[in-house]
Amino acid sequence: MAQHGPVTVERDGDVAVVMMDNPPVNALGSALRQGLMAALDEVRGDASVKAVVLAGTARAFSGGADITEFGSAMQDPNLRQVISAVEDMPVPVVAAIQGVALGGGLELALGCHARVAWTTAKMGLPEVKLGLLPGAGGTQRLPRVVGVEKALSMIVTGNPIGAIEAQAAGLVDAVLDGSYPGAAVEYARTVTDRRRVRDREDKLEPARADPGLIDRVAAPLLKASGAEAPRACVDSVRAAVEMPFDAGSANERRLFETLVKGDESRAQRHAFFAEREAQKAKLPPGTQARPVQRAAVIGAGTMGGGIAMCFANAGIPVTVIETEQAALDRGMARIAELYATSAKRGSITPAQAEERRGRITGRLGLEGVRDADIIVEAVFEDMGVKKQVFAELDRLAKPGAVLATNTSYLDIDEIAASTGRPGDVLGMHFFSPANVMKLLETVRGRATDPAVIATAAEVGKRLGKVGVVVGNCFGFVGNRMLGRRQDAAERLLLDGASPQEVDGALTAFGFKMGPFAMSDLAGLDIGMRIRKAFGKRAPVADALCDAGRYGQKTGSGYYLYEGRTATPDPEVDRIITEEAGKLGITRHPIAADEITERLVYPMINEGARILEEGIAARPGDIDAIWLHGYNWPAWRGGPMFYADLVGLARIRDRLQDFHSATGDENLRPAPLLTRLADAGHGFADQAKRAA
Ligand code: 3HC
Ligand code: NAI
């Protein structure tokens, strides 16, 4: 046995087993690359070796290039050199894949002469999610192995595939289930062909014979994104078809070098680390999460049903509680319908759908919470109702149960005060649809016990959520900032923009939907109820509601609907002009850039207040919230990262303009924003200093 840094070489008869062990995920940083080169040198010099198995750990064959090395000078050998060395070995090299083989990890496996995978394996080229393309030959080798169509779908979406699918696509030669990597050693003894992937041309032929194929396959994949990286992925695969291997690789390298220096990739790398950092709640050392085996959800409406599904999907049995049979039946029927749809779509098997549905039990009356370790309340957004429910929970829940509310805006401390155990109460704010959206805002009340926060964080992880701990205030982080955007959108209408111009500015920015299309989808009555409860007004939105225009469900809102198809409505223009007139505002055209600034900068300003008040611990937490709860475009990194890119001085100055024009105090630049802008700093600098 020989050790080369994180790489071990062992002999099993005439097979050399090269094992990578660079925790946590075998990222291919410089020490691992050097270790691999040294191991290959050792094996190459031994004539008794007839084959090599390249293996990782149970968790990861390799999670790819070390992302932390991007942006600084790369030490030799680089990953392409390592892959070439594998490819040119005098004996067959077999990649033994358990856990993940992602990005550079899969590219390394593609340098091997054969690949075998265990059923737990996940293989993919997710570089596009970091604003990149695979830069170590992935765009050249993958199409040679799986064909152009499959390669495009994997590279442009970045989504991984499992072992069975990989075998069907030709990416792996066998799926093994024996000991790891022993079963691969047996397999390696049967491999005689050491043809290099780079020399295989047959799978490229269909695309060579049909020059329109790439564009046809790429068009639907590119539709959803305004970012550069997906297009670079397509261009690079095209080069694999049109150029010899070395020229295609050099082209790939050039594209990679450009992207890695660009703002989009910086933004997406920031998002990757912010998402992970955000999930590390600052809690006193030694804080222990409480065990959770059973859950209860109160309310089987839009949110309650989705939240119950989250628990069931994670294998946690859950009781859903309603006050009336009809509401319970409706909720349970909707859950069954959603599972049936997933099974029909093929995202889960019918057996899984049945198993998950079987974990959800419906009940009338709060008595049903007695055996739950965690209770999530999702009843009407009404303080009176919530207080009543929590007072009952205090009486019925077992000692130590976590009592969570899914409230969107209400004061967690006031809700907690209706119990005799405020330490057990916190907010667990899911986003709609709860079974799909990844964000979970965990709201810490004044009295919340750290163990309760740790439990919510742990549960969030089990549910597959991105859990971010925030402080208690109106709307918490996400909805509080959203409120500023809604105010701005309403004001833009009064000042002269049309709903389609406002929505268009945000979709051009990268959001899937603008604020008005979103309101029409959710229903204008929701916003109206919230405004009424908090004594607020929005002239245009209120006038639309008064006219019975609640959005898609009534066939009209900010737009006119035929089914889900929206068209602009002259009646809306008339209502807006009338409301502007009542306020003495003369409407005028507003340029698209200004619309974007007026929508986004007030959110950033509110983000600065949120940071200053300590409601969010780090700017990256705010970014993670907007990326995972509100579809902020990933390639723009989140609002606070975006602010640093624009420059805080510009944002301060524009806010000053907006404040002077409207007199709206919310638009006055926040003290933290002003201080940082004056000092020439960004939010990231401030976060670094705070850390
Ligand atoms: N580089 C550096 N650090 C990495 C990393 C990578 N490629 N992948 C994961 N990590 C770190 C994470 O930051 C985290 O660190 P922390 O514990 O300090 O927060 C730790 O490893 C564990 O990661 P996760 O919490 O995400 O663990 P999971 O088990 O949930 O997921 C994973 C593991 C699926 C590998 C996930 O981390 C992942 O998706 N990683 C990124 C994969 C990727 O994008 N690879 C491509 C890199 S770019 C590339 O290869 C370029 C090449 O083409 C030249
Ligand atoms: P909903 O109106 O769809 O569902 C509420 C359900 O609670 C109804 O089925 C009702 O019968 C039931 N209910 C009322 N009082 C009850 C009681 N005492 N015991 C048991 N059940 C009771 O409302 P929705 O949209 O699901 O909202 C629920 C909560 O989630 C609210 O606090 C809301 O602010 C919050 N929320 C809503 C989001 C959304 O997009 N709809 C997003 C995030 C949070």
Pairing of strands 2-4, 15-20: unpaired
- Write down the H helix ranges in 262-382: 263-278, 302-313, 325-345, 350-358
- 280 exposed, middle or buried (CB, 10 Å; 0-12, 13-18, 19+)? exposed
Q: Is the per-residue pLDDT at 351 higher than 70?
A: yes
Backbone angles phi, psi at 168, to 5 degrees: -60, -35
388 Cα nearest atom in ligand 2: 18
Q: Which residues line ligand 1 (CB under 6 A)?
A: 24-25, 27, 63-68, 79, 100, 102-104, 107, 126-127, 130, 134-136, 138, 276
Q: Is the per-residue pLDDT at 225 higher than 70?
A: no
Q: Is the per-residue pLDDT at 685 higher than 90?
A: no
Q: Report percent pLDDT > 90 for the chain.
A: 95
Q: How many angstroms does the Cα of residue 382 sit away from the middle of ligand 2?
A: 9
Q: Is the per-residue pLDDT at 497 higher than 90?
A: yes
Question: Which ligand is closest in space to the CA of residue 409?
Answer: 2
Residue-level pLDDT at 206: 97
Q: Is the per-residue pLDDT at 533 higher than 90?
A: no
- Backbone region of residue 348 per phi and psi (left: phi > 0; alpha: psi in -120 to 50; beta: other values): beta
Q: Is the per-residue pLDDT at 224 higher than 70?
A: no
Over the chain, what is the mean pLDDT?
A: 96
Q: How many angstroms does the Cα of residue 446 sit away from the middle of ligand 1?
A: 35
Q: How many angstroms does the Cα of residue 63 sit away from the middle of ligand 1?
A: 6
CA nearest to 101, candidates 20, 196, 204: 20
As a whole number of angstroms, the distance between CA 508 and CA 515 comes to 13
Q: How many angstroms does the Cα of residue 65 sit away from the middle of ligand 1?
A: 9
As a whole number of angstroms, the distance between CA 201 and CA 147 comes to 10
Mean pLDDT, range 66-87, rounded to an integer: 94
Condensed to tens digits (0 to 9), the pLDDT of residues 399-455 reads 999 999 999 999 999 999 999 999 999 999 999 999 999 999 999 999 999 999 999
Is the CB of 434 inside a 6 Å radius of any atom of ligand 2? Answer: no
Asked if 532 and 541 count as a contact pair (C-beta separation under 8 A), the reply is: no
Q: Confidence class of residue 73 from pLDDT cuts 50, 70 and 90? A: confident
Q: Which two tokens stand for residue 641?
A: 């990262």
Condensed to tens digits (0 to 9), the pLDDT of residues 318-346 reads 999 999 999 999 999 999 999 999 999 99
Q: Is the per-residue pLDDT at 522 higher than 70?
A: yes
Mean pLDDT, range 293-317, rounded to an integer: 98
- Length of the chain equals 691
Query: Measuring from atom 29 of ligand 2, which residue has the nearest CA?
Result: 378
Mean pLDDT, range 134-160, rounded to an integer: 98
280 Cα nearest atom in ligand 1: 19
Residue-level pLDDT at 686: 78
Condensed to tens digits (0 to 9), the pLDDT of residues 233-257 reads 999 999 999 999 999 999 999 999 9
Q: Report percent pLDDT > 70 for the chain.
A: 99
Asked if 478 and 621 count as a contact pair (C-beta separation under 8 A), the reply is: no
Q: Which two tokens stand for residue 387?
A: 């207080």
As a whole number of angstroms, the distance between CA 107 and CA 80 comes to 9
Q: How many angstroms does the Cα of residue 307 sit away from the middle of ligand 2?
A: 11
Sign of CA dihedral 432, 434, 439, 443: positive
CA nearest to 421, candidates 386, 456, 397: 397
Backbone angles phi, psi at 10, to 5 degrees: -125, 155
Condensed to tens digits (0 to 9), the pLDDT of residues 589-619 reads 999 999 999 999 999 999 999 999 999 999 9
Question: Which ligand is closest in space to the CA of residue 404?
Answer: 2
Is the CB of 304 inside a 6 Å radius of any atom of ligand 2? Answer: yes
Residues with active-site annotation: 107, 127
DSSP single-letter state for residue 498: -
Residue-level pLDDT at 496: 97
Pocket test for ligand 1, best of 32, 33, 66, 67 (most atoms within 8 A of CB): 67
Sign of CA dihedral 493, 499, 500, 502: positive
Question: Which ligand is closest in space to the CA of residue 526?
Answer: 2
